[in-house]
Amino acid sequence: VTDAATTGRGTGVNGDTKTLNTYFSNGTYYLYDTTKPMSGGVIQTATAQNRSTLPGVYSTDADNAWTASNQRADVDAHYYAGVVYDYYYNTHNRNSYDNRGASITSTVHYQTNYNNAFWNGSQMVYGDGDGTTFAPLSGALDVVAHEITHAVTERTAGLQYQNQSGALNESMSDVFGYFLDPNDWLLGEDVYTPKVSGDGLRSLSNPESYGQPSTMSNYVNTTSDNGGVHINSGIPNKAAYYTISSIGKAQAEKIYYRALTTYLTPTSNFSNAKSALLQAASDLYGSNSSTYNAVKSAWDRVGVN
Ligand code: ASN
Ligand code: ZN
Ligand code: CA
């Protein structure tokens, strides 16, 4: 009878305080958000307790003040999942990754010193990092947006995770990471090398600074990393940088979302992505618009025909 949606507060990975949508049941508080218009779906956050079993156990707290040091990763995974849900709902009228209000589950404290995060086809998973290469990875909004966008891509374009379609899959996650966190062109700067300031995992504006190509002439043919999906993503990422710099985020995010959900397919390559984005730009702004021409110019500049 005392079960209720509640509002708590917590401390994030980088020491910031945020308000949390929580739930009170049987004398305990949960990172369990029932406030979204998900028709039964929830945003819920669990801990793997430094083991590998997923989803692990619910993150709980006795007094709804989530301020312990080992709760920081839980706080940010939960809070940023809500931010990303709200972005897709408010900006793109999309209700969760499946557009049917599916619950969004996150697990933090995966394994020990784990320097990565991923979408496993059912949920988000975040390592704590080793403290040198990474801080707990849920502490970066762009990382959370990157991983949840993998779920959106899986349920829409379905871009196969290899070679050019895989690099496009990666790029879409980075580009939506930017749309959620547009203060810089870096991905993951809030959790990458916590002892070094000013760097990130990748850069949309300067892919070369993190070892990625930004033109087709430097495309990397490799069998590692599923055919270089985290390498050649630099090429579509640079095209996105040129596009956004030219037309602004508000138009670019509409074009990218429409291309991802309407025109891209599992086997799309870079040339197909250029066509998909141009078709989306034409639909939204006209084929004689400066917006359309900016998208074309962006892909021309990275050498995609
Ligand atoms: N963090 C990586 C990514 O989302 C995990 C992976 O390689 N799939 O791309
Ligand atoms: Zn990814
Ligand atoms: Ca960023």
Looking at this predicted complex, what is its ipTM? 0.94
Domain with CATH 1.10.390.10 in the chain: 159-305
Percent of residues, the chain, with pLDDT higher than 90: 99
Q: What is the reported pLDDT for 2?
A: 83
118 lines ligand 1 (CB under 6 A): yes
Mean pLDDT of the residues in the chain = 98
pLDDT digits (tens, 9 = 90+) for 240-294: 999 999 999 999 999 999 999 999 999 999 999 999 999 999 999 999 999 999 9
Instruction: Provide CATH code, domain 159-305.
Output: 1.10.390.10
pLDDT digits (tens, 9 = 90+) for 199-252: 999 999 999 999 999 999 999 999 999 999 999 999 999 999 999 999 999 999
Residue nearest to atom 3 of ligand 1 (CA): 118
Instruction: Supply the pLDDT for residue 268.
Output: 99
Fold of 1-139: Elastase; domain 1 (3.10.170)
Instruction: For ligand 1, pick from 111, 116, 144 the residue to mutate: most ligand atoms within 8 Å of CB.
Output: 116
Over residues 104-131, the pLDDT tens digits come to 999 999 999 999 999 999 999 999 999 9
Contacts of residues 214-218 at CB distance under 8 Å and 24 or more positions apart, as own/partner, are 214/238, 214/302, 215/301, 215/302, 215/303, 216/270, 216/302, 216/303, 216/304, 217/303
- CATH 3.10.170.10 in the chain is located at 1-139
